[in-house]
Structure 1
């Protein structure tokens, strides 16, 4: 993105005007009389989410690209800070100095095709402008942050499908070498950084991440944005290759006093990586020869996909990356409504405000929703409402670069948050489709999510006509969970991964966390314009959610959850659901890997006894858990603290095997796909490693047995500790 003094001045003026105009609109709007009871406040939240306010905020947040560290990004932080203060919250800006990567506008990245006949083709460095708002579209350069800088050239080019571990295994089985090759991988299925990690570990010279029309333009290039939500040929998905906080201060906050690693020691990829749209990708993939790719690997380009590594006519491909690395200042924004009975217990609600481009959906749809919730809760507070616990609204910086703002905050205040935060509720974006609402979160939060979803009116009129009046009804109908015994049918709650700001709260601090989104149907492309130059206000309001009814439903759901956790004297957790989940997860792992554990002579008897103790403790705890009205404050506090200790008991002080920056022994982002979690992740990683070594005939059974036995012993300890947190006496 090119910035100028004129742009900076214009944005500063717009920020000031926006605050005044939006504040005037809100001041002049008619507000109903404040409610007076718990039930009335819940209804008040449902009745008073104003889509006009959401629309005004969304329009403002999408006026220009605002990647982390840019002038536009800082102006938005200042705007959020000012606006939240005007709504009566106690606000604060928290500053960090982060290590960031940017595209080099003077020497843009490119992928070059050199034919033996002297003809060449170069990928387009920027995404073509379109004839819909925003007018005067700025140049948005294509790059992936935190890859290697330099050039890689090769006549060996390989197509690796989605770049999954299984895809690379298929190539190996067919004797197609990755070493010193330039690997073309299509976006989708898993986190982009995992694709690059798998390629780099196999010796790839460079990676090209491209958007395939089968995933992002299934109706063809003539039926794309701005006519539809699908990606035109020039749409290029930007994105970070790392999701672990600031790379120079691992494990510690990137504050002024921090010790920073030399850049040469940072956890960067060493090979060049460049994204491109399918219009450019055709020029390269159409020349690829070698074995024909399997039918399931065939994409949507007008060609037969081949695996390589030969190119027709002996052509060569060069990947050139000229990214620049900087230290840049960013700001988290905090807004606090203090609790009356338990001011030292925090309900944390978060969303990030930075965007790779205009951020029409990710994240500005959700940022606009959080702005409306802050207005509403602020007015409730000024009218006399008081939460039981303190509400902390957070607008995070630099999420797109690697969940940085939230991670640095979690590192800076780790001890306080582990002791005082009762839940983290995240909203990254409102929707990637309109098929169904869907929550992602830990099992302790499932019941309260179901209860609140039953209260939210369905924004889909076709579903209402079928008698499904709430978002819960459609969720249950379209995403039912697998039946479990004699229990009533329930919707599916998806796992969390590492793709948003809940990462550090759950996987490092053990704070129960939830994210939510309206999503697409199984098998459909979710948000085809994700992280592209066409993720605009027009996309959101004209093509995805006319009238912003899904935004309104999202605000209602998040508002009801925040209200529930901030006002219920006994926290709305279900401990036995969690302990049953842990037991079932172990059953799945034993079924799939029991013989492998037996091969290494690793006994799990003590671990299974600890699991039985934990399940029994969870059931007994849930049965004696007090209702909000039949216990004194001290008893309720004791039970709440016990529930909060459950996840803390599962935190390993030295981290997971091979992944010291992750602490939760039960849940962690999968090493095969960071967008979802693994259960018992350390054990699964060790078993995968053992299997890979065995396939390479490099297995050392004694060393592997020791690592497995050591981790099983650690798991046994943490599961026993978790059971004891739920007991009246821990001894």
Structure 2
């Protein structure tokens, strides 16, 4: 039966259609590429429709009566029998020769591994989900992860450096060894580096220590102003200062590192007209040396801020523009020692309750006064660097042009062991594991998997964002998910994740199938989820998440997760203390066990997305998410709608702003989501007559929208 189907397919389509490939049809110029095939019955119908006489009169040749009707019925019958006999003989010869050719020339159906022996059909279809889970757990090994960690660890691999390029070549070599198709994506991006002389901080006219750290994309200028301590620099921290009638205008704000990104801290201060921001690691949050410098960036966005919305390809001319997320004020990191020298001498009132819980030596944590003058000099230089993103692909066997991406940052300012080395090692190990399952165990993913190694991640996911900007039109149509491997391990006693609501259900089911690295008798879900798994595990996807540009810029369902610690201090990301020894200490020497668990989470999520017939994306989850957001907006609007002051009532928000319209939209949108979900749950034989209309539940979709001619209407 398969042979007959293939033969028929070859006759009409030119090649078998057992799998959907990339479109191989050539777009020829002109109309010559259009070939129309018609059966004899179609030709007869066409002749009858056009009229024989009309056809003949279109030519200048004289008309000769046909002699066919002068022949006897026996002669006609003989002609027909002879033609049929020749056709049958020809078909049998062709069929038998085709069978012998198929037996002698067997080629692998896999479009990726050309050099790999073909997989037997019996093995391909005997793999069920339990088999895939067992294979993944068996083939993903701590020995291979440990080997990768040793090979990819590097003391210097800043974006665009020779160390970064050497790592890129190693990763591409690994992908090629696995039999994957590989390519690179080259960009010329603008980044900040320290100038020939260090940035400086002066307190009351005296230089404070040595400033080795820096914040990329800070405003390049020298400013001065009175010192002001603002806790973590959150919006609520600045509101508390305003409630105490503290003037923020023109102040040099000192804030602790942590809780939100450097860029958000600087943006909050700049919005209130502060003159500069100094960020320091407080010992209550960080267990690092007093002279350890912090590195980071303050671009409130992702990608190259000097080509916003455009890919940074070489020699590509775009209108000169800058990202609106670039700060207008200078920002600089200082060490614990520098912060102690400044904070211990500040005057003014004592800070608010909870703000003085820091551990700087001999420090009262005062807010500062007008005599505490600070000068900040930022002398970074803007340079252009060439970076490379590295890709390896495993092509699917059905929906080849539909793919998910697994990505990991490759670069780092210092050793970057937890920041980039762990993620890169897992990326390579997952690629090896999946290709091994395909080569040796008969696994055939329905959709494609792209493994991506990004550069310039330290500057705000620059490599990933430039790739998105360059190929956004195609990615929006074909890419259905992104999973990040960045910073997956920084502790051991908690599990946190940020994801699109579409992936919540898949993540929860995956957590129930993976053993906890803390207690092997429990699953991740049992260990960390508690009674309300979303409240215990899920967190908002912030600017610091490497999956952020995929989720927000491209709208691609994305997942980022991490093992962290709540019982010990924050991991020293962005410092020279991000080393293998420190990571082992922060994980209680369970780094390899945690890495394997993280690999299993990503592996199972990936296998589900490329193996199942229907994508495991739950649209209905958006209903609860939208309800929650609308509820928050409603409470904020109602709380600020009217303000009472001195016996008078003022409308802080125009009373024309009616929240009821938003509530109505929310209800209708939720109805549409459920309608879409009901359509998706119906099998391929779905009929629009089976689904209720979201406009009028008494009617079907067909009755509501089809009209008298459903094809014309729909």
Q: Using structure 2 for the length normalisation, give the TM-score.
A: 0.73
Q: 8 Å contact 2:634–2:659 — kept in the other structure?
A: no
Q: What's the CA shift for 1:623?
A: 4.3
1:601 correspondence with 2:656: yes
Partner-residue secondary structure (3-state), 2:544: coil
- Equivalenced residue count is 556
CA distance in 2, matches of 1:588, 1:195: 23
Partner-residue secondary structure (3-state), 2:497: strand
132, 156, 167: which one aligns with 1:65: 156
Q: How does 1:107-506 map to 2 (within 5 A)?
A: 107-114=197-204, 120-125=206-211, 141-154=212-225, 156-216=226-286, 230-242=287-299, 243-260=301-318, 262=320, 268-298=326-356, 299-302=358-361, 303-311=363-371, 316-383=373-440, 384-461=442-519, 464=520, 469-477=522-530, 480-481=533-534, 491-506=536-551
Q: What's the CA shift for 1:728?
A: 9.1
Q: CA RMSD in A?
A: 2.7
Q: 8 Å contact 2:516–2:523 — kept in the other structure?
A: yes
69, 72, 77: which one aligns with 2:168: 77
Partner-residue secondary structure (3-state), 1:297: coil
1:540 correspondence with 2:583: yes
Q: 8 Å contact 2:232–2:256 — kept in the other structure?
A: yes
CA distance in 2, matches of 1:618, 1:265: 35
Q: 8 Å contact 2:307–2:322 — kept in the other structure?
A: no
CA distance in 2, matches of 1:591, 1:625: 34
For structure 2, the residue ranges without an aligned partner over 5 or more in a row are 1-122, 642-652, 692-700, 707-712
Partner-residue secondary structure (3-state), 1:339: coil
Q: 8 Å contact 2:135–2:437 — kept in the other structure?
A: no
Q: 8 Å contact 1:68–1:354 — kept in the other structure?
A: yes
Give the corresponding residue for 2:59. Answer: none
1:518 correspondence with 2:563: yes
1:590 correspondence with 2:634: yes
Give the corresponding residue for 1:550. Answer: 594
CA distance in 1, matches of 2:350, 2:609: 55
Q: What's the CA shift for 1:305?
A: 0.8
Q: 8 Å contact 1:541–1:548 — kept in the other structure?
A: no
CA distance in 2, matches of 1:728, 1:58: 58
1:581 correspondence with 2:643: no
Q: 8 Å contact 1:437–1:472 — kept in the other structure?
A: no
Q: What's the CA shift for 1:208?
A: 1.0
CA distance in 2, matches of 1:301, 1:248: 38
Deviations 1:659-707 (A, max 9, x none): xxxxxxxxxxxxxxxxxxxxxxxxxxxxxxxxxxxxxxxxxxxxxxxxx
Partner-residue secondary structure (3-state), 2:393: strand
Q: 8 Å contact 2:630–2:662 — kept in the other structure?
A: no
Deviations 1:252-307 (A, max 9, x none): 11112433565888853333221122122100111100011113111211311110
CA distance in 2, matches of 1:320, 1:379: 54
Q: What's the CA shift for 1:476?
A: 1.2
Give the corresponding residue for 2:188. Answer: 97
CA distance in 2, matches of 1:351, 1:365: 9
Q: 8 Å contact 2:230–2:255 — kept in the other structure?
A: yes
Deviations 1:628-674 (A, max 9, x none): xx547xx79x9xxx9xxxxxxxxxxxxxxxxxxxxxxxxxxxxxxxx
CA distance in 2, matches of 1:476, 1:201: 38
- Cα distance change, pair 52–167 in 1 and its aligned pair in 2 (3 A): same
Deviations 1:398-434 (A, max 9, x none): 1110111111111111111111111111121122221
Q: 8 Å contact 2:263–2:298 — kept in the other structure?
A: yes
Give the corresponding residue for 1:679. Answer: none
Deviations 1:81-129 (A, max 9, x none): 121111111111100000100112x3112223346xxxx443223xxxx
Q: How does 1:35-54 map to 2 (within 5 A)?
A: 36-54=127-145
- Cα distance change, pair 260–285 in 1 and its aligned pair in 2 (3 A): farther
- Cα distance change, pair 589–263 in 1 and its aligned pair in 2 (3 A): closer
Q: What's the CA shift for 1:231?
A: 1.6
Partner-residue secondary structure (3-state), 2:620: helix
CA distance in 1, matches of 2:511, 2:172: 30
Q: What's the CA shift for 1:345?
A: 0.7
The more displaced of 536-545 and 413-422 is 536-545
Q: 8 Å contact 1:252–1:258 — kept in the other structure?
A: no
Q: 8 Å contact 1:248–1:261 — kept in the other structure?
A: no
CA distance in 1, matches of 2:655, 2:324: 35
Deviations 1:570-628 (A, max 9, x none): 0112221222321232123212314656743123444433322222233344345438x
Partner-residue secondary structure (3-state), 1:379: helix
Deviations 1:225-274 (A, max 9, x none): xxxxx222122221110132111211111112433565888853333221
